């Protein structure tokens, strides 16, 4: 069954509620004070079914002090029923409601000139003409205008037919690729049932027994029962007026404007980037620092204009802005906002959410806000690409991108696939896969070449740069967890090689110049010949008439390569000499040796004997037992 939500609009006492009752048989004034005073105070609901088409009506109050309630009721409506009384004509709230439904992106309206029995033909015609003039400069210029009487029922069949025709032309609500999302406009408790919320389902579908997250807090509840206009259902879909019986949340924690969403990677925001349209009737321009009231779906939140792409923004113009919200909201690209001034109260602008996770722009860059990509489905590849580029080497996952867009994970696979096929992005081999802009990888590649050259430029020899240190010099802190993936990508591109956790030039196991190779052979030969009477690096430099710093560098290299061993952090001994001691010990006839016996056995000074024994302990050749060493037999 197709579901289309109509919201009423119009000035107070123009007969909206009476007309809905005549159409559907349902009195939307459910509160005692509403029936007593004859005016609508809160939202009312009704439905009309014709074949496989179901119209859901949200009846809103027309009083100027209740415009915030009217906007809450307009959240998620597909079409509007604009009501104008024939005995009064177009009034202030008629105009404001008309502006609100346009700002909220309502695609079509039907106009009912009510109380037609209260005036003569000439006055009815004048009111119809007045309405036509009011609609002339709006998207609703060609909308049908019908004269009706809820008292005599004249014109009611034709109005019903026009409403059904308008409903047929409404676009189906998105279900595939979207989570379930419902905006809460009523919260109450029922005896024996517990917490119940009602609202218009915007996206997706949900079933009894499913878990549901309640935003902005993020609490998770379970769905016990579902109703659509009093009829119990096992599953509901987008576009329906749904009552949800929740288990796991208290009535006191819920409020109008909360959202029920399928659990997922959704994040609330306190900074919304929006495309603003300032109404021609706005009393003054808009500028950064202005305080406004943001109506987002059924929630209203104080906010400040943080950034503005065109400042000041004159009435009748559009620009991109960033709004700093006083409370966190769950918003997604494509959501509609209405902006009102807190004092004097008036509706002056509307907004389309472009991004709910974009960081705060620097003021000098605010003009670039006007160049942000669109949010409609055909623009998703461009939008996703802009997010990937802005994330840089942090490389978002497909799930993170889907969460930012407000879709299920599979919905971004096709646009990301097109970007991958075009070579615009590259997938990193992580779980889950992360994507990075190819241009970002090219910049990383160039930076890695420069960094490797800089680090090794003054080195005759080097075992390489510790991989983590090298990555830390190239990657922002937030991208450090991806260091291994980026180093592997740089290796694949021929920028470097990886040897024992160190970065080395491509195709090499170490860095070595021709002069460095010559000096390395000479230094190692000196230590090999010295055996257990090793010289210091300064003495080696003197013997070889070499630069002491260069010899120090060669010694570090030989230690890193395992050819020299550094004892007690300062004594250098060739590994072959130590290996020979270890070999002789393993074939020694005694099982234990004192320090003195060990020193005499190998002709060592006490200064060298103790460090050698400690090295043997570290290699598990010997084990210290008091003042002696036990030889470990293998």
Active site residue ranges = 13, 16-17, 63
- The CA distance from 6 to 74, in Å, is 9
8 A C-beta contact, residue 351 and residue 317: no
The DSSP 8-state label assigned to residue 179 in this structure reads: -
> Residue 50: helix, strand or coil by DSSP?
strand
The answer to whether the CB of 353 falls within 8 A of the CB of 273 is: yes
C-alpha to C-alpha distances, 406 to 63, 73, 204, 466, nearest whole angstrom = 34, 22, 11, 41
Partners of residue 244 on adjacent β-strands: 197, 226
Q: How far apart are CA 616 and CA 577, in angstroms?
A: 12
Contact 288/306 with Cβ under 8 angstroms? yes
Among 178, 231, 177, CA closest to 203: 178
Give the count of beta carbons closer than 10 Å to the beta carbon of residue 580.
Answer: 14
Phi, psi of 442 (to 5 degrees): -65, -40
209 Cβ partners below 8 Å, 6+ apart? 222, 223
Are 262 and 207 in contact by the 8 Å Cβ rule? The answer is no
**Gap between the Cα atoms of 392 and 211, Å rounded:** 34
Residue corresponding to tokens 């346009």: 102
User: What is the distance of C-alpha 32 from the center of its chain?
Assistant: 44
Q: Position of tokens 């919320």? A: 197
Cβ atoms of 348 and 99 within 8 Å: the answer is no
CB 462 within 8 A of CB 557: yes
- Burial code (b: 16+ CB inside 10 Å, e: under 16) for 51-74 equals eebbbbbbbbbbeeebbbbbbbbb
Write the DSSP symbol of residue 517.
H
Return the CA Rg of the chain.
Answer: 38
Beta bridge partners of 274: 321, 353
Residues contacting residue 435 through CB under 8 Å, at least 6 positions apart: 388, 395, 396, 397, 398, 401, 416, 419, 420, 425, 426, 427, 428
Cβ-contact 612, 573 below 8 angstroms:
yes
């Amino acid at each position: 069954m197709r579901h289309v939500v109509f919201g009423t609009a119009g000035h107070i006492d123009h007969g909206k509620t009476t007309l809905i009752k005549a159409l559907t048989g349902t009195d939307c004034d459910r509160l005692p004070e509403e029936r007593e005073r004859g005016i609508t105070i809160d939202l009312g609901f009704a439905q009309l079914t014709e074949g496989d088409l179901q119209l859901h009506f949200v009846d809103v109050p027309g009083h100027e002090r209740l415009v915030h309630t009217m906007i809450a009721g307009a959240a998620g409506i597909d079409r509007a029923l604009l009501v104008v009384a024939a005995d009064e004509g177009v009034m202030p709230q008629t105009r404001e409601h008309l502006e609100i439904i346009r700002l909220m992106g309502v695609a079509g309206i039907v106009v009912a000139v009510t109380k037609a029995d209260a005036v003569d033909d000439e006055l009815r015609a004048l009111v119809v003409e007045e309405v036509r003039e009011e609609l002339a400069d709006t998207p609703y210029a060609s909308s049908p205008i019908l004269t009706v009487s809820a008292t005599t029922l004249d014109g009611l069949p034709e109005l019903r037919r026009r409403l059904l025709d308008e409903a047929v032309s409404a676009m189906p609500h998105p279900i595939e690729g979207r989570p379930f999302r419902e905006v809460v406009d009523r919260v109450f408790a029922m005896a024996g049932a517990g917490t119940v919320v009602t609202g218009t389902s915007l996206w997706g579908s949900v079933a009894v027994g499913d878990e549901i997250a309640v935003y902005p807090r993020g609490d998770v509840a379970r769905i016990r029962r579902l109703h659509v206009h009093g009829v119990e259902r096992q599953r509901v879909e987008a576009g329906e007026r749904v009552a949800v019986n929740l288990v796991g949340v208290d009535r006191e924690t819920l409020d109008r404007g909360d959202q029920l969403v399928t659990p997922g990677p959704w994040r609330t925001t306190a900074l919304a980037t929006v495309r603003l349209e300032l109404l021609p009737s706005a009393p003054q321009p808009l500028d950064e620092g202005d305080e406004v009231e943001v109506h987002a779906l059924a929630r209203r939140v104080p906010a400040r204009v943080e950034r503005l792409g065109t400042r000041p923004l004159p009435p009748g113009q559009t620009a991109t802005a960033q709004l700093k919200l006083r409370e966190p909201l769950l918003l997604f690209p494509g959501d509609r906002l209405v902006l009102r001034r807190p004092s004097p109260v008036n509706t002056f602008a509307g907004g389309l959410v472009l991004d709910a996770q974009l960081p705060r722009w620097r003021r000098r860059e605010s003009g670039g806000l006007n160049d942000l990509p669109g949010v409609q489905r055909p623009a998703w590849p461009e939008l996703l690409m802009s997010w990937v580029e802005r994330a840089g080497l942090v490389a978002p996952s497909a799930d993170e991108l889907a969460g930012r867009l407000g879709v299920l994970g599979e919905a971004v696979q096709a646009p990301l696939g097109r970007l991958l096929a075009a070579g615009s992005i590259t997938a990193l081999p992580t779980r889950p896969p992360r994507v990075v802009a190819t241009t970002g990888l090219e910049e990383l590649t160039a930076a890695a070449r420069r960094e490797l050259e800089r680090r090794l430029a003054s080195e005759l020899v080097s075992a390489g740069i510790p991989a983590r240190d090298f990555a830390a010099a190239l990657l922002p802190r937030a991208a450090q967890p991806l260091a291994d993936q980026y180093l592997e990508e740089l290796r694949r591109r021929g920028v470097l090689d990886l040897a024992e956790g160190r970065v080395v030039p491509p195709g090499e196991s170490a860095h070595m110049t021709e002069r460095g190779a010559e000096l390395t052979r000479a230094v190692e030969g000196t230590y090999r010949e010295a055996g257990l009477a090793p010289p210091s690096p300064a003495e080696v430099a003197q013997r070889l008439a070499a630069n002491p710093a260069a010899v120090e560098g060669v010694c570090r290299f030989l230690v890193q390569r395992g050819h020299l061993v550094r004892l007690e952090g300062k004594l250098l001994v060739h590994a072959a000499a130590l290996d020979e001691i270890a070999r002789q010990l393993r074939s020694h006839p005694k099982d234990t040796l004192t320090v003195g016996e060990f020193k005499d056995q190998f002709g060592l000074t006490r200064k060298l004997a103790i460090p050698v024994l400690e090295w043997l302990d570290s290699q598990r050749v010997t084990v210290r037992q008091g003042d002696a060493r036990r030889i470990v037999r293998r």
